[in-house]
């Protein structure tokens, strides 16, 4: 397949509106304010709107003090209604040619906006996100970062060059204002709804690997599973809400290959892994000798991966068990309609 990367022009600086939804972000809000104040983009062309979604800490107080000094705007929602609702409130008052959605706890580079907006010099591009770099020093967080780089970032960079990516990252996302429609109530993965809506309007949705977005990894296994569980349920919600994309020849390689493969990856793969695990357990019970041999091989692989290897690639394969568990639970949540629109700190 022919690769078709987006044509970028650094220095392309149309008016932009930045939306920052917040919920209990007191620990991050001052740093975010400083980050946006020092960002490399013409200040006269930036409109920054913070939306507080019913915070119960002192996020609102901090925003009231600082937004006045920085000439940023603040919208206060007294009752928590979810990220989609918060963004919808900001959409009522912003008017830049391009919208940038960024989270309060996402760390940006000084030139992130300049590099991100450069992609819109290409008239075929409708939405862009940056490359996520998972941060954290613990082994679990390193595994998360390695797994993300190997099995997520590389895939979507290739997808972007072929047509459009199969998923976005809500930490930093830019979209043409004319293509941004209000979210429906109860949406979980808002970034995916943006992606699908933009692509169905005939524009590409790409990843710019030169824009690095730093995100903190969940601190423990339970949080890792929770994050993937919620994301999987939200992804299924979004894909099936826009199922007219799937196997649609009018969508080209995106509809015929990229999105069908994405759907199979998050549904068939976790179920297949679970069935394989159950089969191994049954074989071990029915044939004890097989169980001893299998356990010896498995623990040898684990020992080699964790203690003998200098690289994280084998470890990332082990981390996949956590990922698959979260995805299985996410499928269960979607089937049982247990997913929620309120985002939680993992």
The secondary structure of 12-67 as a DSSP string is: ----EEEEEEESS-HHHHHHHHHHHHH-SS-GGGEEEEEEEES-SSSHHHHHHHHH
pLDDT of residue 326: 87
Q: Which of 188, 66, 50, 48 is nearest to 113 (CA)?
A: 48
pLDDT of residue 81: 85
C-alpha to C-alpha distance for 38 and 187, rounded to whole angstroms: 32
Q: How many C-beta atoms lie closer than 10 Å to residue 266's C-beta? A: 19
Q: Interior CA angle at 280 toward 224 and 324, to 5°?
A: 20
Is position 148 within any domain?
yes
**168 within 8 A of 238, measured Cβ to Cβ:** no
The secondary structure of 121-182 as a DSSP string is: GSTTEEEEEEEEEEE-SSHHHHHHHHHHIIIIIHHHHHHHHHS--S---TTEEEEEGGG--P
pLDDT of residue 1: 53
Residues of the chain with pLDDT under 50: 306, 308-312, 346
C-alpha to C-alpha distance for 10 and 27, rounded to whole angstroms: 33
**183 within 8 A of 193, measured Cβ to Cβ:** yes
C-alpha to C-alpha distance for 149 and 134, rounded to whole angstroms: 9
Total number of domains constituting the chain = 1
C-alpha to C-alpha distance for 242 and 240, rounded to whole angstroms: 5
Helix axes 83-91, 190-200, angle to 10 degrees: 50
C-alpha to C-alpha distance for 266 and 270, rounded to whole angstroms: 7
pLDDT in tens, 35-62: 999 999 998 999 999 999 999 999 999 9
Provide the CATH number for the domain around residue 125: 3.90.550.10
Q: How many C-beta atoms lie closer than 10 Å to residue 298's C-beta? A: 11
pLDDT of residue 150: 74
In this structure, what are the phi and psi dihedrals at residue 108, rounded to the nearest 5 degrees? -110, 155
Q: 202 in the Ramachandran plot: left (φ > 0), alpha (ψ -120 to 50) or beta?
A: left
C-alpha to C-alpha distance for 302 and 296, rounded to whole angstroms: 10
Is position 84 within any domain?
yes
170, two tokens: 């809500």
pLDDT of residue 336: 86
C-alpha to C-alpha distance for 67 and 54, rounded to whole angstroms: 17
Q: Which residues are CB-contacts of 1 (< 8 A; sequence separation ≥ 6)?
A: 162, 253
Is position 277 within any domain?
no
pLDDT in tens, 200-223: 999 999 999 999 988 888 888 888
Query: Could you tell me the residue range of the domain that residue 151 belongs to?
Result: 16-218
pLDDT of residue 283: 67
b/e sequence 66-100, b meaning 16+ C-beta within 10 Å: bbeeeebbbbebeeebbbbbbbbbbbeebebebbb
C-alpha to C-alpha distance for 259 and 165, rounded to whole angstroms: 9
């Amino acid at each position: 397949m022919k690769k078709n990367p987006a044509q970028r022009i650094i220095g392309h600086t149309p008016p932009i509106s930045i939306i920052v939804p917040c919920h209990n972000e007191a620990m991050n809000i001052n740093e975010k304010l400083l980050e946006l104040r020092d960002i490399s983009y013409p200040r006269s062309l930036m409109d920054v709107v913070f939306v507080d979604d019913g915070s119960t800490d002192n996020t609102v107080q901090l925003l009231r003090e600082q937004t006045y000094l920085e000439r940023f705007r603040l919208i206060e929602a007294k009752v928590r209604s979810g990220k989609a609702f918060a963004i919808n409130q900001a959409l009522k008052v912003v008017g830049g040619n391009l919208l940038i959605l960024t989270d309060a706890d996402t760390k940006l580079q000084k030139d992130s906006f300049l590099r991100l907006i450069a992609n819109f010099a290409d008239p075929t591009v409708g939405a862009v996100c940056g490359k996520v770099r998972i941060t954290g020093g613990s082994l679990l967080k390193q595994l998360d970062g390695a797994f993300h780089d190997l099995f997520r970032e590389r895939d979507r960079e290739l997808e972007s060059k072929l047509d459009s990516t199969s998923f976005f990252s809500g930490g930093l996302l830019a979209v043409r204002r004319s293509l941004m429609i209000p979210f429906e109530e109860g949406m979980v993965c808002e970034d995916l709804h943006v992606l699908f809506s933009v692509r169905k309007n005939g524009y590409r949705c790409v990843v710019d690997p030169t824009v690095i977005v730093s995100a903190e990894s969940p601190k423990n296994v339970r949080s890792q599973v929770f994050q993937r569980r919620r994301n999987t349920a939200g992804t299924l919600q979004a894909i099936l809400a826009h199922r007219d994309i799937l196997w649609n020849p009018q969508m080209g390689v995106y509809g015929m290959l990229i999105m069908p493969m994405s759907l199979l990856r998050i549904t068939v793969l976790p179920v297949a892994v679970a069935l394989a695990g159950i089969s191994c357990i049954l074989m071990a019970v029915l044939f004890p000798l097989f169980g001893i041999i299998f356990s010896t091989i498995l623990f040898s692989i684990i020992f080699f991966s964790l203690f003998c290897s200098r690289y994280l690639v084998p470890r990332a394969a082990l981390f996949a068990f956590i990922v698959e568990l979260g995805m299985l639970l996410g499928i269960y949540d979607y089937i049982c309609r247990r997913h929620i629109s309120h985002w939680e700190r993992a």
